Structure 1
Amino acid sequence: MLLCPVCHEPLVDDERGAACASGHRFDRAREGYLYLLRSSKSGDSMGDPKSQARSRRDFLNRGYYAPLRDAMIELVRKQVSGCAASTNGPMTLLDICCGEGYYTSAMGAVPGVDAYGFDLGKEMVRLAAKRGDATYFVANMKDIPVADGAFDMVTELFAPFNEREFARVLAPEGSLYTVVPGARHLFGLKEVLYDTPYLNDEKLPKTTELELVGTQRVSANITLQTQADIEAVFPDDAVLLPHTPWR
């Protein structure tokens, strides 16, 4: 399932981590995740900073994005149910840029799912691994260290779209679920910040290797109720836009 990021040979798990036949070894962190970046640059300096990762975790844990989480759970559940008769063993799911695992763990908890999630930021993956219900690793979505056709489902929520890699890792009859902001996403915030708030352009990713088979709209209004909620959303300027109330 997982590949060595150096030579792209299969990784084999052992007590301490994972290794390939060429001798490249990757230790498993105390929280249980693997670090699969080729770069020697510290994972602490890549991806989201610790404060932003924890802020995102705290905000999502308060349930503001539960409607989207529940919609993803239902999509995964339907996929598993529809393929139960023709599938031996659990269905595999890969969550692209999983962040701190809020959605990944929820989808991984669906019976019959073997979930994996990865992110570029080590702190995000460290927090995700604490949630459980999935196998987590640090990696770059430009060159995902997983085998071709390994996953029945790939999910991508508010992340960059890399069709080449998504199509490569999907099984022949696999499904990709991608989430993009709706026209009124964060509109409540725009009404406060801008004299003339604007709607988002709802452009779906252009694809040449994947076929669009359907769309589903998920919407909800949320209101921050406490000072703790506000602090979780606005710990510093870096998280002003990504994690504010949306409609």
Structure 2
Amino acid sequence: MEDRVLRCSAGHSFDIARQGYVNLLSRPAGAAADDAAMVAARADVLDSGTYTPISRALVAMATSLALPDGVVVDVGAGTGHYTAAVLDALRKRHGVALDLSAHAARRAARAHPRLASMVADVWAGLPVRDGAAALVLDVFAPRNAEEFARVLAPGGHVVVVTPAPDHLTELVTALGLPRVDPHKAERLAQTFTGFVPGPVHSVRRTLTVDAATAALLARMGPGAHHVTPERLEDLAGGTDPVEVTLAVDVAAFRRG
């Protein structure tokens, strides 16, 4: 890095944005990336503490693992909220936050002093050296197991957070959002057949939130593309509390 530019020996160069992140995409991300409204909704939900049970479970899992030397790589890091929580617990580690959305990368660049933020596509290959990572985090994000294995040092772990079939089921039913595949756990195990399966922690809570937060929960994920803005505004304008189910699984897989 020199003069806020990243350069490599092959002659490629990438400017570091004034917000502190670097965009490594060779072409625009397009509609596949989270837009500004989705990222803002996610930031509001995470800052409110609504998803604190997930952060706690993720940190508990990460700190329970015997990790080799290396960095923490968060794939689909979003705002960097979860990455920062893990780095606070793993005090001698540095982190790399990767996301397809520049809107997310801007926020992740400010999430933690030991965190570098980059716009990158997990399916195009991770911008991480072979064996450089001790831990890969994947929270509600795409999973490229082959790339995860490549960047992990021997004995490194992947920690994956996935929604259970009843996650946010009340909003899914009320708004007609896409449902979680009931066979998601089996597909996850198949994805990581080359890894040694580790512990799985289930997080289950019934949350009571206000109507505005309920609308943010619906708006922050890809399901928001399946509901009209007007319907979300109607939900946000309600006066009654809303009960929603928080149901996720936190699973670890070790590279042999």
Q: TM-score, normalised by structure 2?
A: 0.76
- Confirm whether residue 34 of structure 1 aligns to residue 13 of structure 2: no
Partner of 1:159: 141
Instruction: Tell me how far apart the structure 2 counterparts of residues 101 and 147 of structure 1 sit (CA, whole Å).
Output: 21
- CA distance in 1: counterparts of 2:120 and 2:78, whole angstroms: 12
Query: How many angstroms does 1:128 deviate by?
Result: 1.4
Q: Is the 8 A contact 2:57 2:201 kept in 1?
A: no
Q: Structure 1 vs Structure 2: percent identity of aligned residues?
A: 28
Native 8 Å contact 2:137 2:158 kept in 1: yes
Which of 199, 206, 213 matches 1:221?
A: 206
Residue 92 in structure 1 maps to residue 71 in structure 2: yes
Unaligned runs of 5+ in 1: 1-12
Q: Deviations along 1:164-216, whole A, 9 cap, x unmatched?
A: 1111111111011111112321223245457xx99833424113321212211
Which residue number corresponds to residue 120 of structure 1? 100
Change (3 A) 1:17 1:219: farther
Higher relative contact order (CA 8 A, sep 6+): 2
Write the distance in 2 (CA, Å) between the matches of 1:183 and 1:125. Answer: 29
Query: CA offsets, 1:50-99, max 9 Å, x none?
Result: 111111111111111101101111222233xx45xx75xxx411011101
Bigger fraction of residues in strand:
2
Amino acid aligned to 1:213 = G
Aligned to 1:136: 117
Separation (CA, whole Å) in 2 of partners of 1:15 and 1:30: 12
Structure 2 CA distance for partners of 1:215 and 1:233, relative to 1, 3 Å? closer
Q: Is 2:100–2:120's contact at 8 Å kept on the other side of the alignment?
A: yes
1:70 corresponds in structure 2 to: 56
Distance 1:193 1:122 in 2: 28
Is contact 2:98-2:105 (8 Å) kept? Answer: yes
The answer to whether the Cα contact below 8 Å between 2:163 and 2:180 also exists between their aligned partners in 1 is: no
Pair 1:173-2:155 in alignment: yes
* SS of corresponding position for 2:150: helix
In 2: Cα distance, 1:33 partner to 1:187 partner: 35
